[in-house]
Amino acid sequence: MIGCRKTPCQVLRIIASFVCLTATVAAKVPNNPNYADALTKSILFFEGQRSGKLPPNQRMTWRKDSALHDGADKGVDLVGGYYDAGDNIKFHFPMAFTTTMLAWSVEQFKNTMGSDLQHAMEAIKWSTDYFLKATNIPNVVFAQVGNAEADHNCWERPEDMDTPRTTFAVTAQAPGSEVSAEIAAALAAASVVFKPSDPAYSKLLVNRAIQVFEFADKYRGSYNDSIGPWVCPFYCNYNGYNDELLWAAAWLLKATRKPMYWNYVKLNIINFKSDIESGLSEFGWDAKHAGINVLISKFVLDNPSNANPFLPYADTFVCSVLPESPTSTVRYTPGGLVYKAGICNMQNPTALSFLLLTYARYMKTRIIRCGNIDVTQKMLIRFARSQVNYILGRNPVNMSYMVGFGAKFPQRIHHRGASLPSIDQYPEKIGCKEGTPYFLSENPNPNLHLGAVVGGPDIKDYFADSRLSSSQSEPATYVNAPLVGLLAYFKAHP
């Protein structure tokens, strides 16, 4: 399974008797959701997750500057980056995956993004600028900023936070191959995106990606063992680091076209065979298995001699996901949403749909055989559309799971900044425990976090619009990142 984020927040252990299921009369869901509007908002969401000194063109104006001294405890500048979800920690492992997927979204679908393309590029650069800082010292990769246990024991705005902003790093002596390789993948993917418009920045990104990948590969080990007490159980690596090494090499192959990376991928897809085959249907911040094969399929579809094992693995992924496939292993809600138990299920339908849509575009007229079923490009696109449409409101409760999209959407998302009055409205500091009444309140959030996609309904399509239900009501950057690409495609193909 994709390792899902765990949130051992003491505040969330408060026994709450109320369950808030919205009683709003269901709005009629249009046959064709406004994909263009959803795309704009899905990118805008990232501005609400920014950490650091906000730029003059910041559009999410209820957010202000925060965490302006990050890295000071280690004598480095780590101001910037993104908060991963509804808390105030910078977890670099999921932040890097978010960046990789934003870059892949732009690389694949930039021609249909229109005026949103510039904002998508800015969202990527906000992250890559930060990762250049986090990898500026050779053989050191900064992997997290903030004490998660302390942070999760508070409910306060990022602008007010007074919990320890401890900096954690992986090194040659205490390695973290998964976080380092994912950062390398993010930098390499972003270098592809920036190459046409800013070749100097692109070169800086790819050179740093090469350096960080070499560090990740040379000093192999999991950050669970190096800084585990601070990253676990929030973003433990549950699937090993071999997939991240292959993922990074695949992105460096795309960015550089150097044979050494193709040789690395070919050799290690065999060396890591048991690890890869155990997760062929998995894709997310902790599991890159399916993504590796879909990404590499672009290189091998025109060269049958290089097809094995990448195309068979990618086809196995397809057959494990599609509901009509006799070998499908994925669960669905009665309303048709991909469902995997754990925190923030919505990461699964967005990430898996992105891969299927991308693979569909690569395969063109090729047919995939799933048992006695022939799978075509159109079937993969139709599946991806069904998941996007469910998220945007075509579901049993006629609710959009994107904040600010449609007539009916979550009002009480599990997000500190959105649930507390902004500094504009309440300039006084709101301390660690002073925010608890806002957390427990049944009132809608005072700040509209436009574009935030929450964790979503349970296996029965039931959704509790409650801050207390973090698994359902908390947004995350790695949910929106692949959704950006999906929405850009369906905007042009409504």
Concatenated DSSP letters for 352-382?
HHHHHHHHHHHHTT--EEETTEEE-HHHHHH
Average pLDDT over residues 326-343: 94
Write the pLDDT tens digit of every residue in 285-333.
999 999 999 999 999 987 878 999 999 999 999 999 999 999 999 999 9
Examine residue 421 and state whether it is found in any structural domain, yes or no. Answer: no
Q: Which domain holds residue 228?
A: 49-238
Q: Is the pLDDT of residue 278 over 90?
A: no
- Rounded Cα–Cα distance for residues 184 and 206 (Å): 8
Look at residue 380 and tell me if it is in a domain.
no
Please say if 414 is a catalytic residue: yes
Number of H helices, E strands in the chain: 18, 7
Is 222 contained in some domain? Answer: yes
Provide the b/e sequence for 158-181 (b: ≥16 CB within 10 Å). Answer: bbbbebebebbbbeeeebbbbbbb
| pLDDT tens-digit map of 35-79 | 999 999 999 999 999 999 999 999 999 999 999 999 999 999 999
The tally of domains found in the chain comes to 1
CATH number for the domain that contains residue 76: 1.50.10.10
Ordered DSSP codes for 322-346: -TTSTT---EE-TTS-EE-SSS-TT
Output 14 or 33, whichever has higher pLDDT.
Answer: 33
- In the chain, the largest separation of any two C-alpha atoms, in whole Å, equals 66
28 pLDDT higher than 80: no
Q: What pTM did the predictor assign?
A: 0.93
Q: How confident is the model at residue 22 (pLDDT cuts 50, 70, 90)?
A: very low
CA distance 472 to 12: 13
Q: pLDDT-derived band of residue 32, with 50, 70 and 90 as boundaries?
A: confident
- Answer whether 447's CB lies under 8 Å from 61's CB: no
Cα–Cα distance, 12 to 157 (Å, whole number): 17
- pLDDT band for position 17 (50/70/90)? very low
User: Rounded mean pLDDT of 114-137?
Assistant: 98
**Rg, the chain, Cα only:** 21
Would you say residue 23 lies in a domain?
Answer: no
Closest CA to 293 of 305, 306, 285: 306
Q: Is residue 233 included in any domain, yes or no?
A: yes
The answer as to whether 84 is a domain residue is yes
Domain assignment of residue 68, yes or no: yes
31, pLDDT greater than 80: no
For helices 477-492 and 35-48, angle between their N-to-C axes, nearest 10 degrees: 150
Active-site pick, 119, 414, 415, 449: 414
Q: What is the pLDDT of residues 417-462, one digit of tens each?
A: 999 999 999 999 999 999 999 999 999 999 999 999 999 999 999 9
> For residue 1, what pLDDT band results from cuts at 50, 70 and 90?
very low
For tokens 């892949």, name the residue.
Answer: 104
Residue 426 belongs to a domain: no
